[in-house]
Structure 1
Amino acid sequence: MASKIARLVETIVEATATPYPVDRYLELIDPMITWRDTRAKVTDVRLQTDRSVTLTLRPTRQWSGHRAGQYIEVSVVVDGVRHRRFFSPANAEQKASEIELTVTAHSGGFISRYLREQTRPGTVLTLSSATGEFVLPDVRPDRTVLVSGGSGITPVLSMLRTLIAEGHDRPVTFVHYARTPEDVPYRAELDALDRTLNHVDVRLHYTRTDTPEHFHDDHLDGVADVDGAQVFLCGPPALMNAVREYADRRDLADRLHTEAFTVDTSPVLDPDQPITGDVTYTESDVTTPNDGRTLLEQAEAAGLRPEYGCRMGICFSCTKVRKTGCTRNILTGELDSEPDQHIQICVNAPVGDVEIEV
């Protein structure tokens, strides 16, 4: 009965708030007072490395927690424009009362730089529910191998922290690749876990030191290739590809679980199908030669600023209408030439002449 009354009140309140949802009015009073939206207030800001920021967030009541390895959409308003990006919580899933995000600020990352340079305690962010299939199995593995590179450390760190918090005492190997020791957030914590927990083995490799260490079979031999070991991998494309090839050689592809935080958008070069044609941005009256990259990248190179979110084909923020022409989905390889179709311009590249509503 109570739930029916609550739904009725919600309907009445939102009807009186037309054309704006009730949360748009409540945020004028206090952005942490929400009816439906999930928001979180920044309670702590730490600069663990020269390129990253770690934010501790206190979410509103709508937050239902996350499973280790999942990601959430974070949206911020900058100069009146809402921007969305996806990040994986780094905290253990048992700690549902707060969220910890570690964001690496890339030179071209508008939002990552904003979060590092402008975010202060008291800042309020809007969040989505946690989602994603890159999670630990309900029955924990007898041996767990966590492999990450760069900012891919956060989902697997959440897995490690979750296993430790629940008292899991089976072998866990944590392998991480970074440019230098100074580029590893949580390095002190990882060193302490390596020293104090007999079943946790932390292996850090550095790719831009005097003796650079990129992925090599020896880094996983004896841990990933034993019977029953489950491998969880998140990192940049080069590392992902190298570990996948290793898994194929060792016949353990069925035990490799992956999450990519970037998509390889470089043009696919085929000598039998050279890159040709022009891209016409009909809303902007701009035409440029097709260079093979995604429509989003080519639009940006032409000086246009179409809306986007994840740049990975997840959030649909960049969806535009392809008026004419053929495009190739870089994730699936699928070709589509049906006119007047909505497509995600972050993961579609033109094949020949294309007209797009940008």
Structure 2
Amino acid sequence: MTTTVRRPPAKVSVRDRLLRFAETVTTPLLPEDYLDLVAPLRSGAALRGRIVAVTPETRDAATLTIRPGRDWRGHRPGQYVRLGVDVDGVRQWRAYSMTSPPGRRDGLISVTVKAIPDGKVSNHLVRRTRPGTLVQLDQAQGDFVLPDPAPERILFLTAGSGVTPVMGMLRAGAHARSDVVVVHSAPTPADMVFGAELRELAEQGAIRLVERHTDTAGVLGVDELAGLVPDHLERQTWACGPIGMLDAVEEHWRSADAADRLHPERFRPTVISPGAGGTVTFARSGLSVRADGATPILDAGEAAGALMPSGCRMGICYGCVLPLRQGAVRDLRTGEITTAVPGDGVLIQTCVSAAAGTCDIDL
């Protein structure tokens, strides 16, 4: 005689049943897609932040105060964070220094953005962004930070928006542990980002501040530093500013055999000069092709033997999107130029983008 033993059905939790039901009624989207709408900062979601305030600093700079998602791991003073922001329907990534001290009680962080001429993202953030806007975030990174313990004597040498990482260090108490001199260049007193806060610290005796107003006094030359800060080569120096300034500073410290005491920060070592056509390199494929300014990168890549992703010819849009690691492309529909340097995270549609100079595509 054969006895059949029937196993009791596995217990399914109420939560699992609800999730299965949700998946059924939300197909082809997943419940997570709807959760992103109502709880975009939740743990486990793609890291985002919500802008809670936009505070003008100067006529062309503003501080964005952001509530980061729950998976934000914090930062060290002087580090930067990459922000992803949608501008005219295209997600653009840019790196900005943290200007808030770590571990604020309210959990908020801040970056300060200076609008640059023809800067699509910086002008959007400074002039058009409103509280409530969601931005994408990466975790903080960068080694433009003070060691622990901090040096006894510090020189912060900055110009323009180069003062932003230094402000993060000062707000975290760098001047409480060291003898700090800040030498900062700006066109006018009104153009000095954080000018009032830095002057207040100087009045309190917390730092020594040297302001250089370039509209009237001209660009600060490295040969003038000896008169302004006689012991500048003996101090551990953190320098951040335009490329020309950093080049001169590095040469000055190197010629004085003091390069080990200089810590420069360079955000954009590469200058992109758009043109008509150029060499397109598909980095991972090891292929390069010369393309004119009228041929879509999709067609140029296929002609060179690259396995280009695409659904365009089947009516599937955005199947051809690839990261532009570096270079410039022109939108064949509008003529608009998009540029990128490493770290920007710019995505392009290769079917409607042509080379506007040398391009490096992540494929």
Whether contact under 8 Å (1:147, 1:156) holds in the other structure is: no
> Which whole-Å deviations, capped at 9, do the CAs of 1:209-230 have from their partners, x for residues lacking one?
2x3242333325423212xx21
Q: Give the length in aligned residue pairs.
A: 297
Partner of 1:246: 252
1:76–1:282 CA distance, 2 compared to 1 (3 A)? closer
Q: Does 2:161 match 1:151? A: yes
**Partner SS, residue 148 of structure 2:** coil
The amino acid across from 1:122 in the alignment is: G
Contact 2:156 2:166 in 1 (8 A): yes
Aligned residue in 2 for 1:64 = 73
Offset at residue 38 of structure 1 (A): 2.3
Distance 1:295 1:40, change over 3 A: closer
Q: What's the offset of the Cα at 1:20? A: 6.3
- Deviation string 1:238-278 (CA, Å, 9 cap, x unpaired) is 111111111112211111111112224268xxxxxxxxx96
From 191, 216, 219, the counterpart of 2:222: 216
How far residue 121 of structure 1 moved from its aligned partner, in angstroms, is 2.0
Which of residues 168, 180, 185 is equivalent to 2:188?
A: 180
Identity over the aligned pairs, expressed in percent?
A: 32
CA offsets 1:85-120 (integer angstroms, 9 cap, x no match): 111111123437211111111121111111112222
Among 130, 149, 171, the residue aligned to 2:140: 130
Q: Match of 1:24? A: 33
- The alignment status of 1:313 with 2:313, answered yes or no, reads no
* Matched-pair contact (CA < 8 Å) for 1:90–1:154: yes
Taking structure 1 as reference, are residues 266 and 140 closer, same or farther at Cα in structure 2, changes over 3 Å only? same
Q: Is contact 1:282-1:356 (8 Å) kept?
A: no
Amino acid at match of 2:213: Y
Partner amino acid for 1:183? Answer: D
The one-letter code of the counterpart of 1:202 is L
Aligned to 2:261: 255
Structure showing greater Rg: 2
**Pairwise CA distance, 1:317:** 3.8
Task: Return the alpha-carbon distance in structure 2 between the equivalents of residues 128 and 201 of structure 1.
Answer: 34
Q: Does 1:84 align with 2:110?
A: no
What is the one-letter code of the residue matched to 1:185? V
1:39-118 correspondence runs (5 A): 39-95=48-104, 97-118=107-128
**Partners in 2 of 1:222 and 1:130 — Cα distance?**
35
**Structure 1 stretch 215-224 or stretch 104-113: which is displaced more?**
215-224
Identify if the C-alpha distance between structure 1 residues 187 and 27 changes in structure 2 by more than 3 Å, giving closer, same or farther: same
| Greater CA drift, 258-267 or 237-246 | 258-267
Q: What is the CA–CA distance in structure 1 between the aligned matches of 2:149 and 2:27, rounded to whole Å?
A: 48
How is 1:178-327 mapped onto 2 (pairs within 5 angstroms)?
A: 178-198=186-206, 200-209=207-216, 211-219=217-225, 221-226=229-234, 229-265=235-271, 279-280=291-292, 281-283=295-297, 299-300=329-330, 311-315=340-344, 317=346
State how far apart, in whole Å, the 1-side matches of 2:102 and 2:325 are: 37
Q: State how far apart, in whole Å, the 2-side matches of 1:79 and 1:35 are.
A: 28
Separation in 1, partners of 2:81, 2:362: 29
SS at match of 2:251: helix
Label 1:282 to 1:177 Cα distance change in 2 as closer, same or farther (>3 A).
same
Amino acid at match of 1:238: G
TM-score w.r.t. the length of structure 1 is: 0.71
CA distance in 1, matches of 2:64, 2:80: 15
RMSD: 3.7
- The answer to whether the 8 A contact 2:98-2:164 is kept is yes
Question: Which segments of 5 or more consecutive residues in structure 2 lack a partner in the other structure?
Answer: 1-15, 274-288, 301-323
Change beyond 3 A, Cα 1:357–1:69: closer
Tell whether the 8 Å contact from 1:145 to 1:223 is kept in structure 2 after alignment.
no
Asked if 1 retains the 8 angstrom alpha-carbon contact of 2:99 and 2:112, the reply is: yes
State the distance in 1 between where 2:96 and 2:110 align: 10
Contact 1:282 1:357 (8 Å CA) reproduced? no
